[in-house]
Each structure stands twice: as C-alpha cells, then as structure tokens.
Amino acid sequence: MIRNKNSNSMDIARKYLDSLVIEGRILGSVHPSTKTSFLGMEFDTPVMGAALSHLKPGMAGYAEGLKKANAFCSVGMGENDDFEKVLATGAKVMKVIKPYADPEEIFSRICFAEEHGAVAVGIDVEHATNSEDDQDSLVAGYQMKQPTLEELKTYVASTKLPFFFKGVMSAKDAVTAKEIGAAGVILSHHNNIFRCAAPHVFLLPEIREAVGPDFILIVDGGIEDGYDAFKALARGADLVSVGRPFMPPYEAEGPDGVAKTVEEFTNQLKAMMLRTGAKDLASIDPSVVREAYWM
C-alpha cells in the first residue's frame, strides 16, 4: 500500500528538479551550440530518445523523427523484425534489452543488434521485478530474472558494441559497471518501479566524481523540457533521455512531431546556455545551479 506521495519516485524527482534555480551570467554571452559527440558520432543535441516500446504508430517512425532532428535514439522491448525496421530508417540506435530469465534470449538479441547495425546495446538491470515485491515478474509475456554480476559480465563480453546498464542509481553501481566494462549507465528508476528513489539529478555530481569524465552518464525519466535538460547536464550528465513528452506529438504528427519536440527542447536548452554564458555544452558551469532551500 502506498502511504503518501513521497513514495513516488517521479514526484520526488520532479520536486527536486523544480527546487533547482539558475544563476544568470548574461554579459558577454554568445549564441550557443548544442552539438555533442557520443560514441564517436556527432549529434545536434544532447536530447536523445528514451527506450520506448510498442508505440502504436510503430517504433520505426519514432526513430525516423529522431533521425530528422539528428538526435540519438534508443528503443526498448520488441521483436527482431520490428527492430530491423527501426534500423532501416538509418537512425543511430541503441537496443535496450529486458533481463530475460533465459540468458540465450539476451545473447540472441545482443547478437541481432550487432549484426544488423545497432551502435550500442544495453540491459534494463532494474526491470526484473515490480515495485511491490522482489519476485521475478512477467513482462509482455516473457519471464524476467534479476541478472547476477557474473551474468552481466558475460553479456558485456559477448559483443564489440558499447554496453550500457539502465537502472543504475548510485555511485557504487556506476563504478561497478565501469569496472566490468560498460561504456556508461542510464540513470533511471523506470517510471517508479524503484519506489522512494533518490533523484538521479541529485545524485549526478557524486556519480560523476566517482566514475570520472570519460564514463557516459545518461539521465532517463522526468526530463520534461529543455530547462530540465540544462539542469541535468550542468550537474554531470552527458545526455538526457526523453520518452513520454515525445508520445503525444508522435501520435498526432508522426516523425515530424518527434523532430519538432526535440527542436523545442533544444531551443529551450540553448536559451539557458545563453543566459548562463555557456557557448557550448562543455562550457556549462555547474556552479550556476543553486538549490533553492526556501522552496
């Protein structure tokens, strides 16, 4: 039984993001660039598509919209034939795989991704159980299982593609992920599966300090606009992963709706960069972010 609103990680994260205020540094500012390099590829924005699954208009159109915006794309659960359609769009895509109870299911999906042109793979380390208990669950009819550390090592070692763990929410786990060969982590409570989770943007500075500058940190969930994106980037994220805000525009306008929303987020991010004296993403100064203790 959920006793109060504070047990909802989405609400906690929202409250924390809203408590962050920004110091203005406008004198001498120039119109900024949001171009970013990720896995050796160049993108126009650090706003990427989250690993959504089973979108009604189809996953391929979602990827097409992100490609139009020259933004990175990740996709979640789905069969290989649907994933092949996503890759056929030419979008740069990461496949995020569920923690299936059968390891061969995971290995086969990693192999398919590598052979068909994905640029990265990952695994939802937190999605084996639901928020109510610790029992392995069924997801879309598939049995899940919490992966062991040894299993995670074998998944990373099975591919030449950069590997990401989605669901990491601490410096300790981020360091472990780095030690076993991951290219980065996706900080996510997976839409409140992890109840009472400390906000990822709150944790970002200590995670960044623990893993160093070259380990990739992606913030997933709760990024509702470019202003949120700025706060996450300023506190140590390399990219911000956006999902739900893309869904209504995609349903209404197809790929163009996704591309327009990426552009809107990016323009808001640029406005924050202009007002804080950041000419590019590397120039964003973490000290402009202040915690409003009175809020």
For the chain (length 295 residues), average pLDDT per consecutive 10? 62 94 97 98 98 93 98 95 96 97 96 97 85 70 91 98 96 98 94 83 98 97 96 98 96 97 98 98 98 80
Q: Is residue 106 part of a domain?
A: yes
Q: Is residue 2 part of a domain?
A: no
Number of domains in the chain: 1
Predicted local distance difference test score (pLDDT) of residue 220: 96
Q: Is residue 87 part of a domain?
A: yes
Q: Is residue 1 part of a domain?
A: no
What is the reported pTM? 0.95
Q: Is residue 168 part of a domain?
A: yes
190 is catalytic: yes
74: left (phi over 0), alpha (psi -120 to 50) or beta: beta
Q: Which tokens go with 276?
A: 């804080």
- Number of Cβ within 10 Å of residue 47's Cβ equals 31
CA distances from 292 to 72, 197, 284 (A): 32, 20, 19
Own/partner pairs, 109-115, CB within 8 angstroms, 24+ separation: 109/80, 110/155, 110/158, 110/159, 110/161, 111/158, 111/159, 112/80, 112/83, 113/83, 113/159, 113/161, 114/159, 114/160, 114/161
Q: Is residue 51 part of a domain?
A: yes
Domain extent at residue 92: 10-291
Predicted local distance difference test score (pLDDT) of residue 1: 37
Q: Is residue 197 part of a domain?
A: yes
Predicted local distance difference test score (pLDDT) of residue 137: 77
Q: Is residue 180 part of a domain?
A: yes
Q: What is the CATH number of the domain that holds 176?
A: 3.20.20.70
Catalytic residue among 31, 127, 189, 190: 190
